[in-house]
């Protein structure tokens, strides 16, 4: 039997917590060969990162404990090695890149120094390390490498930082690169570029690439083989295309079905009558930065308008301006024909009820020191005319049931819920106001795919039940496809293209919209291969 | 990353006081601290009434009597001071003035500093600038010098000492509160409250203050010690507590000249100061956990050790 480059056999890891022992992974086995890309796919809490952390010796022990299994690197068991031997392997033979590059780059050193340090700690002389760092910066596509060597991490964009991390990981020419959610924090177009870079580098160096992700699209784009994990166990392994087209395990099937962008597109609706909300020529400056450069927007009653754009496009500023969280510098916002900007505070206060918001991260948008009951009933404390106090308890219970939770959860605090449940609480809180319009600012982008699908379903059901309108802000086009009536594509503070879902998805006019569509990843490996082909053609036609 | 969030079972209802007591019992050090503070408080309330006479009775034959000698009676177990007055009784009696001065000074400076800090942090108007500059002025002025000037002009009474100590400690709370408010006001749940139409006072008192408060309580307990020592240095200069009234700080100051021959004169009141602050600190540490819903399970586990 030939040895694999890296093999994990029957690995089990436990964590000791207050609630007892948590089995993070149980009897997990996988292997990685030279020149191969293996993806570990799973949702949060599935234990997908744990085996990689065990390989890198990054599990804190205690509370963690490896209870069984072996990790073989070129046939040698890593778990019996001395700490010094493990340290020699980390960085030199196995390197790792993380989701949030800013958190992993030291802000007080120049990036050139940091990349070179990677090599000097593994025994290379300083001048040679610096020469190689310069070469690497050029290789990963950082413009003007000479100047970049002397810059600090904050001077780079998110995508460039991830490139820096890759350069750092490659410094010692590792045999194995572990990438833990490398593109989750990046915009779609940047994500495509970073994945392409990883693939290129892999072909060049012949290293094994272990990719940990929650995104079927990333798997389709780059992986040769995939390991699907759920609740600490491997449910399925196999060739990426085979697993997608012929999933064996019910969990895999559920995961594939939950991937957005496959449902029916909604029918076009009649847009006559008085609009619910209108924004006219909205302007907003932050110092010299022009965040909104004259944005027009119309939402009809019962309509869902999606605003899609990459980070920095001004989409969140638009949401905050409409709710008057940050007042715009110019333009008008009309709600049922009356101007929100010119309104006296008392009328605005009454209007607050009609316009509600669901935020991106429910962990931060729910006050951690309030129980669910208090969080939801605060709406009625502020607006006492909605509901008399005697009915609060029943109404909270009713709302919790409506969003798919149970009434007895009202006594708990936000930290006792999972991310998806927290977002449901935030939705219940918005519903407590009996609003007409809910602004969802990236309301599902922090959630797992299967949870994402459930929350969108919930929002869709509520729309039909209460005749709500949504302004749905997202960076991801597929999410919007099954849900929105109209789509607005924004780029650097301007609306690039606007139209019905069908127009945008089937017949986009603007090159930017097309680039965005081409960059979004399809979960089907075959569709994705075709799409990549189309994207490469597009890139040749319009350079950057 | 593996998700190790914990679903805490809802603890059976057994009355609010019962729950708090059982949480206190769960942290043995905090329990001892609470016990010590309770005793100190009882001394402060009942001490002068029970031992007022013994504490002031001079006994020149027992000058600087050493501790752990029961031949003169139980009151002399900790020894006697330079005038032969029993130290144990004096410490018990001194608890009242000491705790009164420290507690009122800390409370006054914490409340004023916190309110000003909330205003300075939440409003972006000129008032905020004025408050901050005022804080800078107080901070840049040597606090002891300020105390000397004020107490020289006014009578060195307990009320004035409290006033001076409170003023000099205001900037600590002011700056901490403002810094925390500036951070908390940008959090998403504050935006969420604004979207609901919450008034400024609701946002400040319901959403911001509960997040800031644990930090302030921790600072206040540390400050308690500082204030007790500051009071003792004022007493040393002769503008603090005036004999025959006594405080622990004053007793430390009075014992200083006998330090080489009779260490117990300063040691016992010093120990009282240390134990009080230590207890306050332990208790505030416990309170920080008990008040935080996300941390409370640590105290509710009861016995189930996690190692």
| Among the listed residues A129, A491, A507, B125, the one whose alpha carbon sits nearest the alpha carbon of residue A499 | A507
Does A118 map to a domain? Answer: yes
Place of tokens 């869709």: A460
Q: Are residues A97 and A233 in the same domain?
A: yes
Residues A41, A48: Cα–Cα separation, whole Å: 7
Q: Are A77 and A158 spatial neighbours (Cβ–Cβ below 8 Å)?
A: no
Confidence of residue A263 (pLDDT cuts 50, 70, 90): low
CB contact under 8 A, B293 and A413: yes
- Shortest distance, CA B30 to any CA of chain A (angstroms): 20
- Encoding tokens for residue B160? 């004035």
* Beta-bridge partners for A72: A7, A77
Statement: residue B306 has pLDDT above 70: no
Alpha-carbon distances, residue B262 vs A340, B185, B270 (angstroms): 78, 55, 14
- The CA dihedral of B195, B198, B199, B203, to the nearest 10 degrees, is -100
Predicted pLDDT at A26? 87
**Rounded CA gap, A261 and A115, in Å?**
40
The pLDDT of B99-128, averaged and rounded, is 89
Flag whether A538 is in a domain: no
Q: Give me the domain span that covers residue A401.
A: 373-434
The minimal CB distance from B207 to the residues A367, A381, A412 is found for: A367
Across the range B119-130, mean pLDDT stands at: 83
> What per-residue confidence (pLDDT) applies to B111?
94
Last residue of a domain, one of A204, A223, A258: A258
Q: Where does the pLDDT of residue A544 fall: very low under 50, low under 70, confident under 90, or very high at 90 and above? A: very low
β-strand A6-17 against A20-32: which pairing, if any?
Answer: antiparallel
How far, in Å, CA of A90 to CA of A85, rounded? 9
A222 and A124 within one domain = yes
Contacts of B292 in chain A (CB under 8 A): 368-369
* In a shared domain, residues A440 and A423: no
Same domain, yes or no: A116 and A225 = yes
The CA distance from A398 to A392, in Å, is 10
**Sign of the dihedral defined by the CA atoms of residues B71, B74, B76, B79, in that order:** positive
- Looking at the structure, tell me whether residues A424 and A439 fall in a common domain: no
Q: Of A458, A354, A450, nearest to A400 (Cα)? A: A458
Between the alpha carbon of residue B178 and those of residues A70, B183, B203, B223, the distances in Å are 53, 9, 15, 18
Contacts of A357 in chain B (CB under 8 A): 191-192, 195
| CATH code of the domain occupying B38-300 | 1.10.3720.10
Answer yes or no: are the C-beta atoms of A27 and A11 closer than 8 Å. Answer: yes
Total domain count, chain A: 3
Average pLDDT over residues A311-327: 85
Of A352, A364, A415, Cβ closest to residue B196: A352
Crossing angle of helices A525-541 and A511-519, in 10° steps, is 150
Does A216 score more than 90 pLDDT?
A: no
pLDDT at B106 over 90: yes
- Taking residues B199-208, what's their average pLDDT? 88
Q: Is it the case that residue A409 has pLDDT exceeding 90?
A: no
pLDDT at position B108, please? Answer: 94
Q: Do residue A469 and residue A499 come from a single domain?
A: yes
ipTM above 0.85, yes or no: no
Rounded CA gap, B305 and A213, in Å? 35
Residue of A25, A47, A418 lying closest to B5 (CB–CB): A418
Residues A52 and A180 grouped into a single domain: yes
Separation of alpha carbons B94 and B100, rounded Å = 10
d(CA B87, CA B266): 10
Percent of chain A with pLDDT over 70: 97
User: pLDDT digit string (tens) for A35-83?
Assistant: 889 999 888 778 888 888 888 888 777 677 888 888 888 888 888 888 8
Q: Looking at residues B94-116, what average pLDDT do you find? A: 91
pLDDT score at A99: 77
User: CB of B3 within 8 Å of any CB in chain A?
Assistant: yes
pLDDT: is A377 or B154 the higher one? A377
Contact B202, B118 (CB under 8 A): no
Helical ranges in chain B per DSSP H: 16-26, 28-56, 87-122, 126-140, 143-153, 158-184, 188-195, 200-202, 209-237, 248-255, 264-291, 297-300
10 Å CB burial of residue A538 (0-12, 13-18, 19+) is middle
Do A231 and A115 reside in the same domain of the chain? yes
Report which listed range, A182-186, A199-203, A371-375, B290-294, is most confident: A371-375
Please check whether residue A486 lies inside any domain of the structure: yes
Beta bridge partners, A17, equal: A20
Give A99→chain B minimum CA distance, Å. 11
SS (H, E, C) A87-125: HHHECCCEEEECCCHHHHCCCCCCHHHHHHHHHHCCCCC
CB pairs under 8 A between A and B: 104
Task: Give A415's Cβ-side CA count (13 Å radius).
Answer: 14
Q: Say what angle helices B158-184 and B126-140 make with each other, to 10 degrees.
A: 130
CA A38, CA A198: separation in Å to the nearest integer? 13
Confidence at residue A18, expressed as pLDDT on a 0 to 100 scale: 65
Report strand pairing: A94-97 vs A176-180: parallel
Claim to verify: residue A212 and residue A311 sit in the same structural domain: no
What pLDDT, on the 0 to 100 scale, is given for residue A261? 67
A364 domain residue, yes or no: no
Of the candidate ranges A55-64, A104-113, A324-333, A504-513, the one whose mean pLDDT is the lowest = A55-64
Q: Which phi and psi (to 5°) does residue B220 adopt?
A: -60, -40
Mean pLDDT calculated for residue range A368-394: 89
DSSP A425: H
In B, residues 163-192, which contact A (CB 8 Å cutoff)? 187-189, 191-192
Rounded (5°) CA angle B162-B167-B173 = 115
Give A177's strand partners: A95, A209
Q: Which of residues 203-222 of B touch A (CB under 8 A)?
A: 206-207, 210-211
The DSSP call for residue B306 is -
Mean pLDDT value across residues A301-311:
87
Q: A374 to chain B: nearest residue by CA?
A: B206
Domain ranges of chain B: 38-300
Collect all residues of chain A within an 8 Å Cβ-Cβ radius of residue B199: 382
> Inter-axis angle of helices B87-122 and B264-291, to 10 degrees?
40
CATH number at residue A328: 3.40.50.300
**Could B189 and A49 be called an inter-chain contact, meaning their C-beta atoms sit closer than 8 Å?**
no
Q: What band does B1 get if pLDDT is binned at 50, 70 and 90?
A: very low
- Quote the distance between the C-alpha of residue B203 and its chain's center: 28
The separation between CA B72 and the C-alpha centre of its own chain, rounded to angstroms, equals 35
Residues of B in contact with A361 (CB under 8 A): 188
Taking CB atoms and an 8 Å cutoff, what residues of chain B touch A433?
196
Q: Which residue has the higher pLDDT, A102 or A276?
A: A276
Of A390, A407, A434, the one marking the end of a domain is A434
0.80 exceeded by the pTM? no
pLDDT mean across residues, chain A: 84
CA distance A327 to A47: 44
> What is the DSSP annotation of B180-192?
HHHHHTTSHHHHH
Residue B153 forms contact with A (CB below 8 Å): no
Contact A17 B199 (CB under 8 A): no
Q: Check CB contact under 8 Å for A379 and B196.
A: yes
CB-based contact A475:A516 (threshold 8 Å):
no
Note whether A59 and A178 are same-domain residues. Answer: yes
- What pLDDT digit, counting tens, does each position of A82-95 carry? 888 888 888 788 88
Q: How far apart are CA A279 and CA B304, in angstroms?
A: 58
pLDDT digits (tens, 9 = 90+) for A155-177: 888 788 888 888 888 888 888 99
Number of helices and strands in chain A (H, E)? 22, 20
Mean pLDDT over B126-135 rounds to 85
Which residue of chain A is at minimal alpha-carbon distance from B211? A369
Provide the shortest C-alpha distance from residue A416 to chain B (in Å): 5
Beta strands A330-335; A208-213: pairing state? unpaired
**Backbone CA torsion sign across A444, A447, A449, A453:** negative
B211: nearest CB among A323, A369, A411: A369
Q: Is the pLDDT confidence value at A543 over 60?
A: no
pLDDT value of residue B6: 43
Residues A429 and A502 in one domain: no
If you average pLDDT over residues A284-312, what whole number do you get? 86
State which of A258, A288, A312 marks the end of a domain. Answer: A258
Confidence band for B266, pLDDT divided at 50, 70 and 90? confident
Q: Count CB-CB contacts under 10 A for residue B34.
A: 18
Q: How many CB atoms lie within 10 A of CB B96?
A: 21
Please state whether the peptide bond connecting residue A201 to the residue before it is cis, i.e. omega within 30 degrees of 0.
Answer: no
pLDDT of residue A373: 92
Whether B191 and A418 lie within 8 Å, measured CB to CB: no
Quote the mean pLDDT of chain B: 81
Enumerate the residues of chain B whose CB falls inside 8 A of the CB of residue A379: 196
List of chain A residues whose C-beta atoms are within 8 Å of the C-beta of residue B307: 16, 62
Instruction: Note if the bond before A62 is cis, omega within 30 degrees.
Output: yes
Closest residue in A to B209 (Cα–Cα): A369
The region of weakest confidence among A55-59, A405-409, B282-286 is: A55-59
Q: Do residue A388 and residue A296 come from a single domain?
A: no
From the list B10, B187, B194, the residue facing A325 with the nearest CB is B194
Cα atoms in the Cβ-side hemisphere of radius 13 Å centred on A492: 3
Q: In which band, very low, low, confident or very high, does the pLDDT at B38 lie, cut at 50, 70 and 90? A: very high
Q: How far apart are CA A382 and CA B128, in angstroms?
A: 27
């Amino acid at each position: 039997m030939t040895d694999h480059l890296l093999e994990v056999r029957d690995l089990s890891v436990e964590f000791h917590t207050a609630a007892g022992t948590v089995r993070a992974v149980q009897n997990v086995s996988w292997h990685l060969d030279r020149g191969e890309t293996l993806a570990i796919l799973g949702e949060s809490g599935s234990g997908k990162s744990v085996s990689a952390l065990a390989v890198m010796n990054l599990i804190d022990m205690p509370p963690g404990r490896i209870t069984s299994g072996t990790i073989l690197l070129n046939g040698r068991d890593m778990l019996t090695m001395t700490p010094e031997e493990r340290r020699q392997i980390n960085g030199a033979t196995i390197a790792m890149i993380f989701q949030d590059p800013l958190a992993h780059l030291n802000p007080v050193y120049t990036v050139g120094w940091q990349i070179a340090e990677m090599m000097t700690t593994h025994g290379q002389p300083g001048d040679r390390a610096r020469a190689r760092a310069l070469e690497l910066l050029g290789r990963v596509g950082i413009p003007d490498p000479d100047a970049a060597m002397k810059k600090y991490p904050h001077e780079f964009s998110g995508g460039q930082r991830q490139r820096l991390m890759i350069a750092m990981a490659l410094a010692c020419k590792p045999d194995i690169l572990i990438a833990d959610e490398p593109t989750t924090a990046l915009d779609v177009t940047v994500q495509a570029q970073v994945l392409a870079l990883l693939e290129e580098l892999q072909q060049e160096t012949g290293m094994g690439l272990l990719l940990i992700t929650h995104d079927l699209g990333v798997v389709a784009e780059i992986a040769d083989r995939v390991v699907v994990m759920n609740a600490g166990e491997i449910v399925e392994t196999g060739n990426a295309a085979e697993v997608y087209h012929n999933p064996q395990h019910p969990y895999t099937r559920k995961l594939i079905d939950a991937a957005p962008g496959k449902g029916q597109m909604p029918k076009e609706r009649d847009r006559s009558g008085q609009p619910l909300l209108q924004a006219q020529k909205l302007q907003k400056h932050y110092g010299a930065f022009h965040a909104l450069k004259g944005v027009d927007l119309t939402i009809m009653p019962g309509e869902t308008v999606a605003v899609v754009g990459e980070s920095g496009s001004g989409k969140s500023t638009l949401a905050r301006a409409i709710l008057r969280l940050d007042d715009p510098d110019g333009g008008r916002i009309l709600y049922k024909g009356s101007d929100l900007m010119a309104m006296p505070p008392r009328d605005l206060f009454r209007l607050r009820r009609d316009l509600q918001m669901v935020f991106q991260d429910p962990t931060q948008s729910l006050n951690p020191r309030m129980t669910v009951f208090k969080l939801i009933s605060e709406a009625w404390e502020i607006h006492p005319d909605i509901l008399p106090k005697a009915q609060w308890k029943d109404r909270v219970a009713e709302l919790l049931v409506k969003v798919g939770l149970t009434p007895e959860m009202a006594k708990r605090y936000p930290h006792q819920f999972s991310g998806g449940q927290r977002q449901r609480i935030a939705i219940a809180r918005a519903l407590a106001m009996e609003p007409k319009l809910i602004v969802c600012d990236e309301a599902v982008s922090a959630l797992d795919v299967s949870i994402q699908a459930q929350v969108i379903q919930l929002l869709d059901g509520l729309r039909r039940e209460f005749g709500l309108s949504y302004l749905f802000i997202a960076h991801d086009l597929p999410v919007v496809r099954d849900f929105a009536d109209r789509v607005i594509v924004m780029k650097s503070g301007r609306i690039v293209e606007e139209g019905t879902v069908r127009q945008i998805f089937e017949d986009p006019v603007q090159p930017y919209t097309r680039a965005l569509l081409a960059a979004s990843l399809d979960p089907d490996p075959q569709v994705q291969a075709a799409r990549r082909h189309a994207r490469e053609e597009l890139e040749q036609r319009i350079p950057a | 990353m593996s998700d190790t969030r914990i679903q805490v079972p809802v603890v059976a209802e057994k009355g609010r006081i019962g729950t708090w007591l059982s949480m206190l019992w769960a942290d043995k050090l905090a329990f001892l601290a609470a016990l010590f503070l309770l005793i100190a408080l009882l001394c402060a309330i009942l001490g002068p009434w029970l031992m007022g006479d013994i504490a002031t009775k001079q006994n020149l034959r027992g000058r600087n009597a050493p501790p752990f000698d029961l031949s003169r009676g139980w009151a002399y177990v900790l020894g006697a001071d330079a005038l032969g007055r029993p130290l144990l009784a004096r410490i018990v009696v001194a608890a009242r003035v000491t705790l009164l001065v420290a507690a009122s000074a800390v409370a006054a400076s914490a409340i004023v500093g916190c309110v000003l800090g909330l205003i300075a942090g939440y409003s972006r108007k000129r008032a905020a600038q004025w408050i901050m500059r005022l804080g800078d002025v107080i901070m840049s002025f040597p606090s002891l010098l300020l105390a000397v000037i004020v107490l020289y002009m006014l009578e060195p009474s307990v009320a004035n000492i409290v006033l001076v100590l409170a003023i000099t400690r205001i900037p600590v709370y002011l700056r901490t509160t403002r810094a925390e408010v500036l951070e908390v006001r940008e959090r998403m749940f504050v935006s969420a409250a604004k979207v609901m139409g919450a008034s400024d006072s609701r946002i400040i008192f319901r959403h911001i203050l509960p997040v800031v408060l644990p930090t302030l309580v921790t600072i206040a307990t540390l400050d308690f010690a500082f204030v007790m020592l500051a009071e003792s240095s004022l007493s040393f200069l002769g503008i603090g507590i005036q004999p025959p009234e006594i405080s622990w700080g004053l007793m430390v100051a009075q014992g200083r000249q006998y330090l080489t021959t009779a260490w117990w004169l300063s040691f016992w009141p010093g120990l009282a100061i240390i134990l009080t602050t230590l207890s306050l600190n332990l208790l505030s540490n416990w309170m920080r956990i008990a008040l935080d819903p996300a941390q409370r399970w640590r105290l509710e586990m009861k016995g189930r050790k996690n190692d």
